[in-house]
Chains A and B, each alone.
Chain A
Amino acid sequence: MSSASPFALLANAAALPWTEVPEWPAAELVRRTAGELDRGARLCAWFGVPEGGATRLAAVIAFDADNTLAVARSTPLAGAYPSLTAAQPQAHLFEREVREQHGLTPAGHPWLKPVRATAGAAPANGEFFRVAGGEIHEVAVGPVHAGIIEPGHFRFQCAGEEVLHLEIALGYQHRGVEPALAGGPHRATFSQVEAVAGDTTVGHATAHAAVREALAGAEPPLRAQWLRAVALELERLANHTGDLGALAGDVAFLPTASACGRIRGDFLNLTALLCGNRFGRHLVRPGGCRHDLEPARRTQLLERLSAALADVEQATAWLWDAASVRTRFEGTGPVTAQQAAEIGLVGPAARACGLVRDVRCDHPAGWHRLAQAPVAVWPSGDVFARARVRWLEIQRSGQLLREQLAAPPDGDLRAGPGPAAPDTLAVALVEGWRGEICHVALTDAAGRYRRYKIVDPSFHNWIGLALALRGQAISDFPLCNKSFNLSYCGFDL
């Protein structure tokens, strides 16, 4: 229960003065954070804030059942502190990141490797975990892959066809987004945010705008909130449709693969109808939106949306109907609900393990306070479940869009948002199509970004893919990978 928590509580897309965030020695922060996570909270962000020559640790956690977020920080420290990961595996990457960014060592962390650090002209991958034994062979894949896809390195430990262990090494896409945002907002800030994960432009742009607006103590006009919600669901429809097509392609089921490839484009073109860009670039801005959806355009959007939804329903009906598809999807790449909770999975990957977590319902902000789609859950944790959850979400997003497009709120599209408050912390969560996007901004005395933290859902979920591969045939890796379809650039920042 959040009410008994010693953390400072706040709602999604809200701000509070930095001085009101409770501070404890690092060991105490670790102990109390572990305690809250034991009681069912989730770790949304764990990061460092430089102060003088030292660093403060900051924790953002979510009490989903209470629709409440909570924050706390440590006193400034240097050197080592007792690792949170030892008790809470979901902190593992956050602590590796803190060590890389600030030099703080989480004592007792079981696998303290680089995350994105550069070594010459490639990431400093460090030593890979190796399984010993004369029968064991190692398979290295990437960074450059066979298709048109982002780079990353996968290292498999195999006994014959069976994968005993998969280690995923990323960092190739590291563009330095967080340091670029510090000291801002700059002129390029918003474009950099839109490029954090280019297939999630609306999700990240909405989170950034919400943080900026919370810092100003302002809310954008209702019509802009409505338009952002519409664009977010269009983004989900396009990506989920593309994923179902790609999953069909990976099991050589071509009717659905070719149909969904085209229908995905139809959804992207709906976003382009709204703002000119197929990925929703330049639509969301702090204070509102740049383009309106006037009645004639809204009617056209609804008509084309209905046609695309009917097409995707037909194309996926073939998929669910085919026994050859089901036998390839069912039981492949399973993750249990307990594993998912321990490693902190988010989004469709978590919901496919039976976990009921969706920011739109658990922490509604913006238009989602007024309109929500039911959370889509499937219990089996395998490729089938991850495909099935996407299909359920396509249906529910489509229904939500039909309802919302029928009754738009009137009013302005853009207002303010006015200057950002100084020395203030703001947090925004958005349920992007991959899951929870978390943006945290801390301002300095002048109201500029002293620290800007971004957590893409992929940051939580890559370890889920590694777990899903345990005991699977290595030939199922492409299928499992596609069923998660995680972002490399969103992780690498």
Chain B
Amino acid sequence: MFVFDTLTHRLRHGCATMAYPDGPAPALPDRHGGALRVDAAKCPDGCHECVAVCPTEAITPAEPRGIRLDLGRCLFCAACVEACPHHAITPTGDHRLAVRRREDLVLGSPGQEEVRLAGALDEKLRRLFGRSLRLRQVSAGGNAADEADLNVLGTIGWDLGRFGIQFVASPRHADGLVITGPVTRNMELALRKTWEALPEPKLVIAVGAEAISGGPFAGRPEVLGGATAVVPVDLYIPGWPPHPLTILDGLLRLLGRLEHDRPPG
């Protein structure tokens, strides 16, 4: 009888929801690498080994030397990490990647070796959304992986609902829009209409390299190259797709729910 089975199973397994953020964050897979760090000071003159191997041209040479690495275009394939003979690009293993401003994802200039993590919303918006945030998701050319790892946040292990965050079916009920995909021309109208249907004040969150920059489809005429082509973006969560932990960190950071883990400065 499944009724007794499920009950005893539940009792035996106890609560399946992770302790984070009150407890430690679950470990990323060891081959994940997490956020990247760029020490452009290590780059010798004229060395651009990493530039040529990047599939999305996320790395560009800087003047007079060194590089700029745009984590908004990065697919986290680590080809640059393998190609760099000077260890100028290194994985940090850190799951935290979300930023408020697009330029905070560009690494390599002095003082910007790592991402400048997102700060919280201002006091007024935090009072509105801090304990209850309803989100509408729109996939605009998304490849179903970013969407899958957003869905994962609703499962019992992550239980997004405990933070008062919930994905809703109607834009009229939503406080914010979560966008995935490089924003295809064929989704431009639907995305714009959905955004317009959200009541003010409203947030926009771009999840994944494709929604931030177009990712591997950047520059293709069939796509607009990310969410900012259509709507203003308040939070960028890099990755291809971002790990669920990275997405959750971004959402909690925006709401000011990670008090003990404020970004430096």
Instruction: Enumerate chain A residues within 8 angstroms of B142, measured Cβ to Cβ.
Output: 150, 173, 198, 489
Chain B count of residues within 8 A CB distance of the other chain: 64
Nearest-neighbor residue (CB-CB) of B224 within chain A: A121
Residues of chain B in range 153-197 having any CB-CB distance to chain A below 8 Å: 154-157, 167, 169-170, 181-182, 184-190, 192, 194
| Bound Cα distance from A296 to B140, whole angstroms | 41
| Bound Cα distance from A317 to B1, whole angstroms | 10
Given contacts A261-B156, A272-B32, contact A195 B55 (CB under 8 A): no
| Bound Cα distance from A176 to B222, whole angstroms | 6
Stretch with Cβ within 8 A of A (4 or more), from B40-48, B108-116, B124-132, B213-221: B213-221
Cross-chain contact A199 with B29 (CB below 8 angstroms): no
Cross-chain contact B77 with A281 (CB below 8 angstroms): yes
B210 at the binding interface (Cβ < 8 Å): yes
Given contacts A191-B215, A278-B149, A317-B2, contact A180 B220 (CB under 8 A): yes
Cross-chain contact A195 with B210 (CB below 8 angstroms): yes
Contact of B137 among A118, A148, A265, A276 (CB under 8 A): A148
Chain A count of residues within 8 A CB distance of the other chain: 63
Cross-chain contact A175 with B222 (CB below 8 angstroms): yes
Contact of A195 among B29, B154, B190, B215 (CB under 8 A): B215
| Bound Cα distance from A175 to B223, whole angstroms | 6
A190 at the binding interface (Cβ < 8 Å): yes
Chain A, residues 180-212, CB within 8 Å of chain B (1/0): the string is: 100000011011101111110100000000000
A255 at the binding interface (Cβ < 8 Å): yes
| Bound Cα distance from A45 to B17, whole angstroms | 46
Cross-chain contact A116 with B216 (CB below 8 angstroms): no
Residues of chain B in range 58-88 having any CB-CB distance to chain A below 8 Å: 75-78
| Bound Cα distance from A272 to B111, whole angstroms | 32
Nearest-neighbor residue (CB-CB) of A190 within chain B: B55
Given contacts A258-B156, A487-B144, contact A269 B138 (CB under 8 A): no
B54 at the binding interface (Cβ < 8 Å): yes
| Bound Cα distance from A290 to B157, whole angstroms | 30
Nearest-neighbor residue (CB-CB) of A274 within chain B: B31
Interface centre among A172, A174, A255 (most CB of B within 10 A): A172
A123 at the binding interface (Cβ < 8 Å): yes
Instruction: Enumerate chain A residues within 8 angstroms of B187, measured Cβ to Cβ.
Output: 122, 143, 151, 172-173
Nearest-neighbor residue (CB-CB) of B170 within chain A: A146
Given contacts A175-B184, A191-B216, A198-B241, contact A262 B156 (CB under 8 A): yes
Cross-chain contact A276 with B186 (CB below 8 angstroms): no
A149 at the binding interface (Cβ < 8 Å): yes
Given contacts A197-B144, A281-B75, A317-B5, contact A276 B29 (CB under 8 A): yes
Cross-chain contact B186 with A255 (CB below 8 angstroms): no
| Bound Cα distance from A194 to B170, whole angstroms | 31
Contact of A275 among B31, B143, B157 (CB under 8 A): B31
Contact of B29 among A194, A273, A321, A487 (CB under 8 A): A273
A201 to chain B, nearest CB (A): 7
A334 to chain B, nearest CB (A): 26
Contact of B145 among A191, A199, A261 (CB under 8 A): A199
Nearest-neighbor residue (CB-CB) of B31 within chain A: A276
Instruction: Enumerate chain B residues within 8 angstroms of A201, measured Cβ to Cβ.
Output: 145
B247 to chain A, nearest CB (A): 11
Contact of B56 among A118, A121, A188, A489 (CB under 8 A): A188
A293 to chain B, nearest CB (A): 11
Nearest-neighbor residue (CB-CB) of B222 within chain A: A176
| Bound Cα distance from A396 to B86, whole angstroms | 47
Residues of chain B in range 1-38 having any CB-CB distance to chain A below 8 Å: 1-2, 5-6, 9, 16, 29-33
Instruction: Enumerate chain B residues within 8 angstroms of A196, measured Cβ to Cβ.
Output: 143
Given contacts A191-B55, A272-B32, contact A149 B186 (CB under 8 A): no
Cross-chain contact B156 with A322 (CB below 8 angstroms): no
Contact of A175 among B78, B141, B190 (CB under 8 A): B141
Contact of B139 among A150, A192, A197 (CB under 8 A): A150
Cross-chain contact A269 with B29 (CB below 8 angstroms): yes
Interface centre among B186, B190, B240, B243 (most CB of A within 10 A): B186
Chain A, residues 146-171, CB within 8 Å of chain B (1/0): the string is: 11111100000000000000000001
A38 to chain B, nearest CB (A): 36
Given contacts A146-B169, A190-B55, A198-B144, contact A123 B186 (CB under 8 A): yes
Contact of A278 among B55, B57, B243 (CB under 8 A): B243
B187 to chain A, nearest CB (A): 5
A446 at the binding interface (Cβ < 8 Å): no
Cross-chain contact B223 with A282 (CB below 8 angstroms): no
Instruction: Enumerate chain A residues within 8 angstroms of B6, measured Cβ to Cβ.
Output: 255, 318
Instruction: Enumerate chain B residues within 8 angstroms of A5, measured Cβ to Cβ.
Output: none
Cross-chain contact A173 with B181 (CB below 8 angstroms): yes
A62 to chain B, nearest CB (A): 26
Instruction: Enumerate chain B residues within 8 angstroms of A273, measured Cβ to Cβ.
Output: 29, 31
A314 at the binding interface (Cβ < 8 Å): yes
Cross-chain contact A489 with B216 (CB below 8 angstroms): no
| Bound Cα distance from A150 to B56, whole angstroms | 24
Ordered by A's residue number, 8 sampled pairs between the chains whose C-beta atoms are within 8 Å are: A144-B190, A147-B167, A148-B151, A172-B184, A187-B57, A191-B215, A314-B9, A321-B2
18 further A-B contacts with Cβ under 8 Å, apart from A201-B145, A242-B148, A276-B32, are A144-B138, A144-B194, A146-B170, A147-B137, A148-B137, A149-B139, A149-B147, A172-B184, A173-B139, A175-B223, A187-B57, A191-B56, A199-B144, A265-B155, A273-B29, A273-B31, A291-B31, A318-B6
Binding site for A on B (CB under 8 A): 1-2, 5-6, 9, 16, 29-33, 54-57, 75-78, 137-152, 154-157, 167, 169-170, 181-182, 184-190, 192, 194, 210, 215-217, 220-223, 240-241, 243
